[in-house]
Amino acid sequence: MNLRVLEAPPTQVHVALDGRLDTAGVDAIEVKFNAAVVARRKDAVVDLSALEFLSSMGVRMLLLAAKALERTGQRMVLVARGPVISTALQHSAIDELIPVAQDLDQARAILAGGRP
């Protein structure tokens, strides 16, 4: 399980996850993820495109981070392509709480669209 912090505009954070975001994957990156995404207090784009698998524990990590950002007035947008991750997001209905974009441009457009 890997987390990469990518270049982003000054008001945003952009991270990409790859591997299996299951219980072991969450154990491996949760602290790093929260440090990179939640602690920065910026809008965040979390790219899940390279994830092979997203379990309920992975969904939990994303949801708790999104809720933490929400409490300080920031938003999280997910980038997800491919049926495996999209199906996991739909089953958990997490896509009703965290916006899901098809690519980075769409994610940034959602963030630029302001807060609901």
Partner 1 sequence: MSEHDSTDRTITSLPLSSEREVEWTHVLVVVEGASAGERFVLGRELSIGRDPTCDVRLVDRSVSRLHCRVSLAEQRALVTDNGSTNGTFVDGVRVQDSTVLKPGALLQIGDHLLRHDVCTTAEAAREVELAQDLRKAREYVAALIPAPLARADVRIEWAFQPCAALGGDLLGYHWIDDARLALYVLDVCGHGAGPAMHSASVFNALRGQTLPHTDFAAPAQVLSALNQHFAMERHGGMYLTMWYGVLEPRTRRLSFASAGHPPALLLEGARSTRLATKSPPIGVSEGRRFTQAQAEIRAGARLWVLSDGVFEFTSSDESVFSLDEFERGLLETPRSSPSDVQRALQGRAKRGVFEDDFSMLTVSMGP
Residues contributing to the site for partner 1 (CB under 8 A): 20, 22-23, 52-53, 55-57, 59-60, 63-64, 67, 90-94, 96-97
Nearer to partner 1, 2 or 23 (CB): 23
Nearer to partner 1, 94 or 101 (CB): 94
Please report how close the Cβ of residue 54 comes to partner 1 at its closest, in angstroms: 10
Please report how close the Cβ of residue 92 comes to partner 1 at its closest, in angstroms: 5
Nearer to partner 1, 23 or 102 (CB): 23
Distance CA 66, CA 78 (A): 10
The DSSP string of 13-57 is EEEEEEEEESHHHHHHHHHHHHHHHTTTTSEEEEEEEEEEEE-HH
Burial class of 14 by CB neighbour count within 10 A (0 to 12, 13 to 18, 19+): buried
Please report how close the Cβ of residue 96 comes to partner 1 at its closest, in angstroms: 5
